[in-house]
Amino acid sequence: MAKPTAKNSPASFLVNLKDWQALSVIAAAVLVFFRDILLQKAFFWEDFLYYFYPVRTFAAVSLASGEIPLWNPYTFNGTPFLADIQTAVFYVPNLLLTLFVTDGRLPPFWLELSIILHYVLAGGGMYYLAKSYDLENIFALFAGLVFALCGFMVAHAIHQVVINQVAWLPLTILLFRKTLKQRSLLKMILTGLVLGHSVLAGFPQLTLYIFFFVFLIFLFEFYSTMKDETFSRAAGYLPFAAGVIIIAVALTAIQLLPTLELAPLSQRAEITYEKSLESSMEWRQLITMFVPAFFGSHGAHGSTFWLSNGYSHYWETCCYLGVAPLLFLVFASRQIRSERTIAFLFGIMAFSFLYAVGNGFVLHRLFFKFVPGFDEFRAVGRMTLLLSVAGSLLAGFGMRTMVGLAQSNKALCRKYLIAAAGAAVVFWIAVQMGFLQRGGESIPEQSIHQIASSATTTSVVILLAACGLAFLYLRGFFSLPVAAALMVGFQVIDINIFGFDQNNGSVNPVDYYYRTESLVNYLKEDGKRELFRVNSRQGGNMIFDRNQGMIDRIFLMEGYTPLVLQRAYPPVSPDLLYYLMNVKYRVAVDEQRRTISLRRVEQYLPRAFMVYKTATFKNEDSLTAFMESSAFDPTRVAALEEDTPIHPDTVINADHWSAVVTSYRINNIFLDVSTPMAGLLILSEIQYPGWNAYVDGTRHTIYRANWNQRAIPISTGMHRVQVRFEPESFQRGAWITVVTIGVSIGGIGFSALKKRRKDTETT
């Protein structure tokens, strides 16, 4: 196909579109799409409200006060914070949010803006990636626009870690391809840094899929170079590809090592094959490539989704690109045999879908059984990320193919358009007659028909309009610049119809977390006198949101995170649990009056206290049996799992001890302790690797007592005790990351100097 770039042809416009103009169009489209969020008429909902906003607030406020949030004492009785990879503490845009902390809070607007700007990054990266495949600017613009606001991206707007990580993928691929083709040390370093930084955004499943995608691109480039040039030239790619991976992994060590330490200590459920099939696609969902709401939708304003595959099935399987891109894919398919790159991209789309259908095809089962890492995750529908990337690029290729065909063979181009329009009309008739709906899942047959019929009508009208525009262009009614601009406009309108309201929630996070302000203020005032925890949930009844403790800095027993510690709660009766874990206030629910309130507990252990007798157990079963028995009195005996310097028969009890918390920070606790004899200082704080005790400046071992609490041997007398969280995993990871950054900077400097010398010698 000849590219329409002759100087006096209408296509001369293609070379006149500047990069900044294309990027401005993408940015404008994104900002218009999220206009209600930006104007604060609407707010991101669901996981954004319940998880990501509290997490980002806690991290930003902590950093603003000069503390790295290694530990979070405000949910689940205390839990590692940074080690949970989704907290993404060291992802640079998250670090920048620290600058916007005001009065101890992070205004949600800045977090929402950060997410929205990542859509611009995604579209801009795709624009430059498409250009690297020799697509002219207007076609690259279309590809960038498709990816920035594709179904995968729109549906996951409430999942900050997903958007943040995926936004860097086009740029990663662009730099990786340049690294291989140029065999450039500089590009290798930059690619590794970009890839590693995207991993720090915090979504392990997509990290696996992205690394796999990079591997497929490496295989394709290796094969292409071997076929077109020589094997030795292709083999030269190996050290550069390996260098990219090494740099990326080393850069993430500051996050990766703490996460690897946390994983085996958390309650992560074992992912069985059946569990992994959650939110996998169905074959019939191919229809949603053309009609995204054929089976309904699930968004901020409710759900009409009638497939019965779980709460999150809609957004986990949404892979809509747009009607026009789908039309252009048909044109792009003409070049599968003649263009290796197009064949590869169609192969990626096919692989992505066939994997995403889970048990509907053999591919996922094979990967689950034989490829390391793929047996760790559920929601296989997320593999449609690869479909979205490849499809966006193919949309650009297909648009160029249609323009070229319009220049060289208008009759054939008309046949394609007539076939597409005809197929759409036939599909519409079939839907209206009820041939393609299968009901009985969650809502009545009549409602299913109405949902499918309405959604199909919308998509068919958009397709017919796009085909009509193309016909008018073929007849000479429009110049190419006007036709291209109109097609871009069609895409923007289509995506706004599809998903403008998807994430426009009505709940302002500020109002949501201020609704219990008076109660929070009361607890904070009471907390000035003593430390205590609050039981905020009873069944489905919550007086505080699960992660509200991170925002208001009140100690809650409950929380919401994928990585809950295995020993968050001792295996004892509820009353003993609250007593043991320093719970001063408990939720009280009146079912008849349908009210919920907090009531004060009559008896509860202080946050720090002394005991002088121990009982040691060698396995969890015997420890559990003892703690469940009447012999267990935590005020007199510490149930241990290893020997301590305090011997069981020394003394049963002692009076006149004192243990006062003088300063409490998230990573540091200071206490003044006085005891008439040697004993154990028990802290109602979760014991976890990395917590160290310093008694009068001398480091002491912390033992685990009473299933999950900290026990520190204390000798007779008065002592100053400091308990610090300083995990070795973080320290080792930090050193590796810092060294990686230093070496990378050195490598970049060396490359720049070498290039400068080469340029000097040339001139």
Confidence of residue 754 (pLDDT cuts 50, 70, 90): confident
Q: Provide the pLDDT for residue 762.
A: 72
For the chain, what is the mean pLDDT?
Answer: 92
pLDDT tens, 233-273?
A: 999 999 999 999 999 999 999 999 999 999 999 987 678 89
Res 480: pLDDT: 84
Element (H, E) at 518: helix 517-527
Residue 158 has pLDDT above 50, yes or no: yes
Please report the pLDDT score of residue 646 as a whole number. 72
Write the CB contacts of 725 (distance below 8 Å, at least 6 apart in sequence).
70, 71, 666, 667, 668, 688, 690, 691, 692
Tokens of 261: 């330490």
Query: Lowest-pLDDT range, 66-70, 497-501, 644-648?
Result: 644-648
Confidence at residue 481, expressed as pLDDT on a 0 to 100 scale: 83
- Of 424-428, 440-444, 481-485, 730-734, which gets the smallest average pLDDT? 440-444
Residue 559 has pLDDT above 70, yes or no: yes
Judging by DSSP bridges, how do beta strands 638-640 and 614-616 pair with one another? parallel
Q: Output DSSP code: residue 5.
A: -
Tell me the sheet residues that pair with 639.
615
- Phi/psi for 387 (5° steps) reads -60, -40
Tell me the percentage of the chain whose pLDDT exceeds 70: 95
State which H helix or E strand residue 585 sits in.
strand 583-590
Q: At what angle do helices 204-228 and 185-199 cross, to 10 degrees?
A: 160
**Span 529-541, mean pLDDT?**
93
Q: How many angstroms separate the first and last alpha carbons of the chain?
A: 39
Tokens (6 digits) for 180: 């291989």
pLDDT band at 443 (very low <50, low <70, confident <90, very high): low
Q: How confident is the model at residue 99 (pLDDT cuts 50, 70, 90)?
A: very high
**Residue 170: pLDDT above 80?**
yes
Q: What is the pLDDT of residue 591?
A: 79
Confidence at residue 185, expressed as pLDDT on a 0 to 100 scale? 95
Lowest mean pLDDT among 42-56, 426-440, 664-678, 744-758: 426-440
What mean pLDDT comes out for the span 299-309?
A: 84
Residue pLDDT, tens place only, 13-67: 445 799 999 999 999 999 999 999 999 999 999 999 999 999 999 999 999 999 9
Does position 179 have pLDDT exceeding 80, yes or no? yes
Look at residue 442 and tell me whether its pLDDT is greater than 60.
Answer: no
d(CA 58, CA 106): 8
Cα distance between residue 170 and residue 119, in whole Å: 12
DSSP E strands, 665-743: 668-675, 679-686, 691-695, 698-700, 703-705, 709-714, 717-725
Q: Which residue's entry shows tokens 């016909």?
A: 471
pLDDT of residue 269: 62
Residue 763: its pLDDT value, please?
A: 65
Using pLDDT thresholds of 50, 70 and 90, give the confidence band for residue 4: very low
Instruction: Say how far apart CA 461 and CA 421 lie, in whole Å.
Output: 10
Quote the pLDDT of residue 438.
63
Residue 573 burial class via C-beta count within 10 angstroms: exposed 0-12, middle 13-18, buried 19 and up: exposed
In this structure, the dihedral spanned by the alpha carbons of residues 234, 238, 240 and 246, taken in order and rounded to 10 degrees, is: 160
Kindly state the average pLDDT of the residues 345-356: 98
| Predicted confidence (pLDDT) per residue in 696-737, tens digit | 999 999 999 999 999 999 999 999 999 999 999 999 999 999
372-398: per-residue pLDDT in tens?
999 999 899 999 999 999 999 999 999
Q: Region 546-563: what's the mean pLDDT?
A: 94
